[in-house]
Structure 1
Amino acid sequence: MKNLVLVLLLFLGVQMNASTPKDAIKFYDIKNVKIPVVYEQSNLLPTGFVQLVFIGGGNVNDGNKIGLSKIASSILNEGTKELGVTKFADLLEQKAINLNVRTGLETLNFELDYLKDEQNTAINLMSDLLKSPNLTENALKKVRTQITSALLNKQNDFDYIASVNLSSLLFKNTPLANPALGTIKSIQNISLDDVKKYLKENLTLKRLIIILGGDMDIDKTLALLKPVLSTLEVGEKAQTHHYEANDKSQEKTIYKDTQQAYIYFGSPFSLNDLKTEAYKAKVMSFILGSSGFGSRLMEEIRVKRGLAYSAYLRIATSNIANYTTGYLQTKIENQKESIELVKKVVDDFIKNGATQEELDSAKSFLLGSEPLRNETLSQRLYTKFFNFYLGLPLDFEKIQLNQIKNLTLDELNSYIKSHTEIKNLTFSIVTQKSQKDKK
């Protein structure tokens, strides 16, 4: 029963667009706070989806308590204080209700999905969790142990090491430089009082965005949520953040007992306006390194020279940071050549731009595949939420597709050539010492 809802969604997901859903955004008043509600009604499946998103609860706000948001969200998955994790999980299981709490860069999310007939039970259980989470020393100790164990396992995860080190170089002296899981030392130093303070600060009405979807009456569902949401404090809006990636080329190498070189790299990317630039950045990213086979990076590194099984580079755009990030894995003896080739590919791309053939190929793929990314109800809801959160129109994907369709080669190449900053690449490498170095 546990995954019944997810199975149904996967089975019929490709048919979601066959319905004629009503979708919009509205504002729901609780304690004179206008809470944004992103929603979509669809009666194709007898299921419901509720998500409470608290802006400010992500790890970018951990401060000097690195890993605090991870600890707090993990404790919230330990059931209520009255029932504990096992009995609470059993109640969810019996009704095929899925309730999960997770944290992202900037958000703390309560995610609930259920069969339509179990809506009252599902919302009541989520309400119980919000009102009385299992904030006990035993739960904290269990969560600390789990995260510490995960961090110990990461000590031999060379992709993780290279990735974390890249972030520490690109975003030095900012929260983005910190690992989301925290460190073994920081995790041990987080107390139950720290968790309570974090929840008190973040579980507030002014930080809340509600996402609703499925076969439900939106107003009735909000009415069911109102009693528990009314117990939350009004609070203060979360502080907004924006960080710039380091524009100086750097390199950090960690030596491990490995047969491969793990090479992660990134650079700053200047973007002034998502609404008018995001589509150009998407096409630029696709051609340079995010499209797999056919991208410049993959063509030069794997197809022509066989230096790596895969090579990837994408442009990440958001309110919090804009930058490029990529990786490849290669033989130890090919490490230096691969790094120099990445630099050359990026340099040539900025200097000469894309070809008409590359632009046509990018348009064909993006215009054909992008609609598939919003087939299912959950995909569409997440897309609308992120568009709202970024200050974009809810149907921004449709706008962007039209922008891509009308993009000319001259416009694209002018944009590419203006972004010389991405040549300032920083490299994070995990490799093995050469025999000479060992001696």
Structure 2
Amino acid sequence: MNRIFLSLVTMLSILAAPLRADVEIQEVTSPMGFKAWLVEDHTIPFMALRVGFKGGASLDRPEKRGAVSLMMALLEEGTGEMDSRDFAKAVDELSTTFKFDTSDDSVSISARMLTENRDQAVALLKGAMTAPSFDQVAIDRVKGQIFSILQSDLKDPNKIARAAFDKAAFADHPYGSDHSGTVESVKALTRDDILAAHRDSMAQDRVVVSAVGDISPQELGALMDTLLADLPQTGAPMTERVEIGLEAGVNVVPYKTPQSVALFGHRGIKRDDPDFFAAYIASTILGGGGFESRLMDEVRDKRGLTYGVYSYLATKDHAELVVGQVASANDRIAEAIEVIKAEWARIANEGVTQEELDHSKTYLTGAYPLRFDGNGPIANILEGMQMQDLSIDYINTRNDKVNAVTLDEINRVIKEIYLPEELHFTVVGQPEGL
């Protein structure tokens, strides 16, 4: 077996997946009590696995920003007597793939493996997850890679804008800085800090598991016990909730560039709010529906002020925002901002029309099944559902929830969600007229 064959199997799994959202999910409980969501499919000898841990980079200890992100980047750098090259060679020989990701609220491991190599692949993954080497040579090398990225970010207007906006929104909360840390904070991290980040973030009390493909519930239960039994039982306490600190108006961060970047937004709505679906549809109409959105129509199509503008609902575990972004020439960004302000006020004051609501429902319900285009994407969706504490039948009821939103309901929610008087803009560049 080789990676070419694995790629072929992956492609076949995508082609074989039905483009519909009626996915049959089983909840599996292992002998040791670990739980997983499983979509069983034995048509191809292949499985996608996702293992996630709630908390993520928000669990960085004080003065240790970037520790969780660095720790996750080091998981594929060796285990036991294997160094990074040996580990990569073993992964390749098994025709499997591992990916380790960090976000503000979670860390996740994704794996793809062939059925005939599953036991060996799981053993290798267990070593990476529960007994990583964290060799100093690897630490120094990965730090160097992160330094390069962070230094590049200091010259990127988009990254500068995001950093300034997050700092204004979240202050000293972990959300207020990039989860990769800064050059200074990463430079100061020690091996002991990385070990602490591993204990804090990868523990049994916050794990979620999803699997899609050629595996039975009994096999998945045994797999979970093998993979997770040696992890700490409890991790660090979750971070505290943070209130949005954005002030209305425009904050300019001077930076020499021919085009200014603007991030904008204000406080938002929780993912478990009963009005979330109405807010979600409204967000699609205003700025999330691609070329069909109001912002694209007014800012790009009618006035040619930008190549793209968008807004969306950002629902973190400990804070919520309605947020968006636009970029425009320095001599036109002020006009783009005024148009966005006007559209924010128009939707807040006038709401949306029945035609817009119906069109958005058709778009959202029609596009949803296209997300289920293979074992990997489905496993990812199942993990996300568990992270957000959604019900196991969510996939099969989601479109019904979208279609149930009425015009009166959405226009009531819009008045509560869109707050023109609170709208904040962080602008990076040399904007004229601001």
- TM-score surpassing 0.5? yes
Paired residue for 2:335? 337
Paired residue for 1:5? 6
Instruction: Work out the CA distance in 1 between the residues paired with 2:327 and 2:237.
Output: 39
Output one character per residue of 1:121-162: Cα deviation in whole Å (capped at 9) or x when no partner.
101111222343121211111111110011111122111111
Residue 309 (str. 1) matches residue 307 (str. 2): yes
User: Structure 2 counterpart of 1:381, which letter?
Assistant: A
Paired residue for 2:71? 72
Instruction: Work out the CA distance in 1 between the residues paired with 2:8 and 2:420.
Output: 42
2:284 partner SS: helix
Paired residue for 2:124? 125
Paired residue for 2:99? 100
The 10-residue stretch of structure 1 (372-381 or 338-347) with the greater mean CA deviation from structure 2: 372-381
Contact in 2 for aligned 1:170/1:266 (Cα 8 Å): no
User: Structure 2 counterpart of 1:124, which letter?
Assistant: A
Residue 240 of structure 1 deviates from its aligned partner by 5.9
Structure 1 residues 244 and 375 mapped into 2: Cα distance closer, same or farther (>3 Å)?
farther
CA RMSD of aligned residues (A): 2.4
1:308 partner SS: coil
User: Structure 2 counterpart of 1:340, which letter?
Assistant: E
Contact in 2 for aligned 1:212/1:218 (Cα 8 Å): no
Contact in 2 for aligned 1:292/1:312 (Cα 8 Å): yes
Structure 1 residues 407 and 253 mapped into 2: Cα distance closer, same or farther (>3 Å)?
same
Instruction: Work out the CA distance in 2 between the residues paired with 1:286 and 1:276.
Output: 18
Residue 113 of structure 1 deviates from its aligned partner by 1.1
Contact in 2 for aligned 1:255/1:432 (Cα 8 Å): yes
The 10-residue stretch of structure 1 (41-50 or 177-186) with the greater mean CA deviation from structure 2: 41-50
Instruction: Work out the CA distance in 1 between the residues paired with 2:114 and 2:208.
Output: 22
User: Structure 1 counterpart of 2:251, which letter?
Assistant: K
More relative contact order, 1 or 2 (CA 8 Å, 6+ apart) = 2
User: Structure 1 counterpart of 2:293, which letter?
Assistant: S
2:332 partner SS: helix
2:296 partner SS: helix
The 10-residue stretch of structure 1 (257-266 or 223-232) with the greater mean CA deviation from structure 2: 223-232
Residue 415 of structure 1 deviates from its aligned partner by 1.4
Instruction: Work out the CA distance in 1 between the residues paired with 2:12 and 2:165.
Output: 39
Residue 318 of structure 1 deviates from its aligned partner by 4.5
The 10-residue stretch of structure 1 (229-238 or 309-318) with the greater mean CA deviation from structure 2: 229-238
The 10-residue stretch of structure 1 (229-238 or 169-178) with the greater mean CA deviation from structure 2: 229-238
> Structure 1 unaligned runs (5+)?
none
User: Structure 1 counterpart of 2:361, which letter?
Assistant: K
Contact in 2 for aligned 1:80/1:128 (Cα 8 Å): yes
Quick one: which of 292, 295, 298 aligns to 2:296?
298
Paired residue for 1:167? 166
Paired residue for 2:385? 387
1:45 partner SS: coil
Residue 431 of structure 1 deviates from its aligned partner by 1.0
Instruction: Work out the CA distance in 1 between the residues paired with 2:162 and 2:126.
Output: 37
> Structure 2 unaligned runs (5+)?
none
Residue 36 of structure 1 deviates from its aligned partner by 2.1
Give runs of aligned pairs for residues 186-201 of structure 1, distance below 5 A.
Answer: 186-201=185-200
Paired residue for 1:358? 356
Residue 426 of structure 1 deviates from its aligned partner by 1.6
Paired residue for 2:231? 232
Identity %, equivalent residues: 23
Instruction: Work out the CA distance in 2 between the residues paired with 1:398 and 1:276.
Output: 18
TM-score, normalisation: structure 1 = 0.91
Structure 1 residues 48 and 12 mapped into 2: Cα distance closer, same or farther (>3 Å)?
closer
Instruction: Work out the CA distance in 1 between the residues paired with 2:132 and 2:278.
Output: 45
Instruction: Work out the CA distance in 2 between the residues paired with 1:257 and 1:224.
Output: 54
Instruction: Work out the CA distance in 1 between the residues paired with 2:272 and 2:108.
Output: 24
Instruction: Work out the CA distance in 2 between the residues paired with 1:323 and 1:3.
Output: 43
Paired residue for 1:145? 144
Instruction: Work out the CA distance in 1 between the residues paired with 2:147 and 2:198.
Output: 22
Q: Aligned pairs, how many?
A: 431
Structure 1 residues 372 and 408 mapped into 2: Cα distance closer, same or farther (>3 Å)?
same
Residue 380 of structure 1 deviates from its aligned partner by 2.7
Give runs of aligned pairs for residues 2-41 of structure 1, distance below 5 A.
Answer: 2=3, 4-17=5-18, 23-30=25-32, 34-41=33-40
TM-score, normalisation: structure 2 = 0.92
Residue 184 (str. 1) matches residue 186 (str. 2): no
Contact in 2 for aligned 1:67/1:187 (Cα 8 Å): yes
Contact in 1 for aligned 2:59/2:236 (Cα 8 Å): no
1:392 partner SS: coil
1:209 partner SS: strand
Paired residue for 2:411? 413
Structure 1 residues 108 and 3 mapped into 2: Cα distance closer, same or farther (>3 Å)?
farther
